[in-house]
């Protein structure tokens, strides 16, 4: 899921709220399809259209919203700490998926 802003912004509060909204949408889909994820990736597009992706693979499979939001926020914070540029787009995706019930999988909400 991605969100393109109507105007480029460096407002961290606004950006993190959009990031949380995207995480909520992903979480709803993951739970509805009875999936677990292990990898979270954040996509950031700058005002000059330069695009960066940053991912983290968790040591466990999960479907928890808190795990998704915490990981996405940490990835975005690490990026913002290094740069002071306005953003045009923010996105989040999960990967390294498996269905609930597969060997070693637990569903948590």
Structure tokens at 7: 């105007």
Tell how far CA 97 is from the center of its chain. Answer: 14
Whole-angstrom distance, CA of residue 17 vs CA of residue 38: 22
pLDDT tens string, the chain, 109 residues long: the values are 999 999 999 999 999 999 999 999 999 999 999 999 999 999 999 999 999 999 999 999 999 999 999 999 999 998 877 777 899 999 999 999 999 987 554 554 4
Q: Write down the pTM of the prediction.
A: 0.89
Task: Report how far residue 44's alpha carbon sits from residue 88's, in angstroms, rounded to the nearest whole number.
Answer: 8
Show the tokens assigned to 83. Answer: 């740069």
DSSP 45-56: EETT--EEEEEE
Cα–Cα distance, 4 to 43 (Å, whole number): 11
2-99 has which CATH code? 3.30.1490.100
């Amino acid at each position: 899921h991605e969100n393109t802003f109507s105007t480029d912004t460096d407002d961290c509060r606004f950006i993190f709220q959009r990031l949380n909204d995207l995480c909520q949408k992903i979480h709803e889909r993951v739970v509805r399809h009875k999936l677990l994820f292990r990898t979270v990736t954040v996509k950031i597009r700058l005002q000059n259209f330069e695009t960066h992706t940053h991912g983290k693979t968790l040591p466990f499979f999960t479907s928890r919203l808190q795990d998704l939001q915490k990981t996405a926020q940490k990835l975005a914070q690490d990026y913002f700490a290094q740069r002071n540029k306005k953003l045009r787009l923010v996105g989040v995706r999960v990967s390294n998926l498996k269905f609930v019930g597969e060997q070693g999988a637990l569903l948590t909400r």
